[in-house]
């Protein structure tokens, strides 16, 4: 059974930082790309960042480039998202997703992922 469990969400002031973590199990983690996606109530799912099995290959949505950093530890089956300079528009439910079982197409297509975690809430507000 594929499991993705996120943690680290919180209420933070604008300009602050958070570090999200996702622990994966039930598939060969080191063989698949991983992504972070986010969703705001009433809006569609938005892809935020992705990382290939090679931890050096990272990708970001324009809206977070330069502020967020994705990383992974293939020995621990974890993927993290370091979020700096947070803005109110970053407020969302953040989930990690795995390329395992995903349909073809671009990593940045948030709708392609079959397996996503339940998510962790990030709220950026003063």
Quick one: which of 97, 119, 115 has its CA closest to 35? Answer: 97
Q: For residues 48 and 109, what is the distance between their CA atoms, to the nearest angstrom?
A: 10
pLDDT digits (tens), the chain, 126 positions: 999 999 999 999 999 999 999 999 999 999 999 999 999 988 989 999 999 999 999 999 999 999 999 999 999 999 999 999 999 999 999 999 999 998 888 999 998 999 999 999 999 999
pLDDT confidence of residue 104: 82
Residue bearing tokens 């209420």 = 11
Query: Tokens for 39?
Result: 């969703």
Burial of 20 (0-12, 13-18, 19+ CB in 10 A): buried
């Amino acid at each position: 059974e594929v499991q993705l469990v996120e943690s680290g969400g919180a209420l933070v002031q604008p300009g602050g930082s958070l570090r999200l973590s996702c622990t994966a199990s039930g598939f060969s983690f080191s063989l698949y790309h991983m992504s972070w996606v986010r969703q705001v109530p009433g809006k569609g799912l938005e892809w935020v960042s992705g990382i290939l099995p090679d931890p050096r290959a990272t990708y970001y949505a324009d809206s977070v480039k330069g502020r967020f950093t994705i990383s992974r530890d293939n020995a621990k089956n974890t993927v993290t998202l370091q979020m700096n300079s947070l803005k109110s528009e970053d407020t969302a439910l953040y989930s990690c997703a795995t390329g395992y079982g995903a349909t073809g197409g671009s990593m940045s297509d948030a709708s392609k992922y079959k397996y996503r975690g339940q998510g962790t809430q990030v709220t950026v507000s003063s």
